[in-house]
Amino acid sequence: LVASVAFFCFVASRSRGAYTALAGLEAAITALFFLLYLLQLDKKLGWLCWPLADIFNSVISALFLLVVCLFAVIIKTNDGTLAGGVLGLVLLVLCVVDAVLLSRKISLGQRTGRNTPAK
């Protein structure tokens, strides 16, 4: 939702293409991951570790958002660009939180269960 609002702020302010493209791509990729999990396609396509792909997406998005949204806030050609940049920085924080929460939840080859000694 935040990525969509940032996208519409950049579109309304007629900002540079990089601002609009990044916010639009992030909104589209997030919607695709949401649909993937909602329709439980991640279980049908088990050959790929989807939480790891989601973490990778969040980290890469956070790096791009940091650069592009800082430029948008610093340059601030108009109020729409400034609002989009601030919303992009909020989205940056959400991407980092998403990556951290998913990395805590993922278990790569670890046993899931109690470590009780055999009797």
What does the chain look like in DSSP terms, one character per residue? -HHHHHHHHHHHTT--HHHHHHHHHHHHHHHHHHHHHHTTHHHHSTTS-HHHHHHHHHHHHHHHHHHHHHHHHHH--SHHHHHHHHHHHHHHHHHHHHHHHHHHH--SS---S--PPP-
- The whole-angstrom separation of Cα 4 and Cα 17 is 15
Show me where the domains of the chain are located. 1-113
Q: What's residue 108's pLDDT?
A: 58
- The whole-angstrom separation of Cα 10 and Cα 23 is 8
Global pTM value: 0.69
Q: What's residue 77's pLDDT?
A: 75
Per-residue pLDDT of the chain (119 residues; tens, 9 = 90+): 877 787 787 778 877 777 788 888 888 888 888 888 888 877 777 777 777 887 888 888 888 888 888 887 887 777 777 878 888 888 889 888 988 888 888 765 555 555 555 55
Q: What's residue 98's pLDDT?
A: 84
Q: What's residue 107's pLDDT?
A: 64
